[in-house]
Amino acid sequence: MVNLSTIREVICKAIKEHLQIPVIRSNQNATPPDYPYISYTITTLMRTNNGTYGLFIEDDGKGNSKKYYRKEFQQIWSFTVCADDDLASKQYAFSLYDFLDHIGKIDLAENGVVIQRIEDITNRDNLLTTEYEYRNGFDVYFAFMNEIEDKSTDDISDIQLDYNSNSE
């Protein structure tokens, strides 16, 4: 099973450390941080993959092994840089894009987060009731591995076949 909490922590922490601005989940009741900041929404939790699961057996070196079935899937995140200055919003959007497209790609991959595709940076400005909020953002397709542990004890090597039985 996918550990969504770990995925969110890895991605948000890496972005925050690189850009030095807060990264928050969109659509919360909490008061947002001071500008600038980045908000994200997971728009597609699990994109369908009609492939098959692969069987992986991990041996602990002591004769004990665990079986896992793994299959790649995609998750789509929408990032939006929010600022009270148009140029700052655009510049942070470029910096975020560069980080995900190149600078942070290897570090994220080492933590199990693979970036497969990044969409265009688009304007997402919003007129608030009292002032204007400048917003620019883009969508990112992340690839993850869904893993299901096989806890069954059945193994084909344990099956005994009797070829001498008469079935009439």
CB-CB contact of 76 with 23 (8 Å)? no
Number of domains in the chain: 1
Considering the domain boundaries, does residue 75 fall inside one? yes
Residue 52 sits at φ, ψ, to 5 deg, of -110, 160
Residues ≥6 apart with Cβ < 8 Å to 134: 82, 83, 84, 85, 86, 88, 89, 90, 125
For residue 132, the enclosing domain spans 4-150
What CATH number does the domain containing 31 carry?
Answer: 3.30.2000.10
The predicted-structure confidence for 124-163, as pLDDT tens digits, reads as follows: 987 665 568 899 999 999 998 888 888 775 555 556 666 7
* DSSP classification of residue 154: -
pTM, two decimal places = 0.80
- Look at 60 and 153; give whichever has higher pLDDT: 60
Considering the domain boundaries, does residue 80 fall inside one? yes
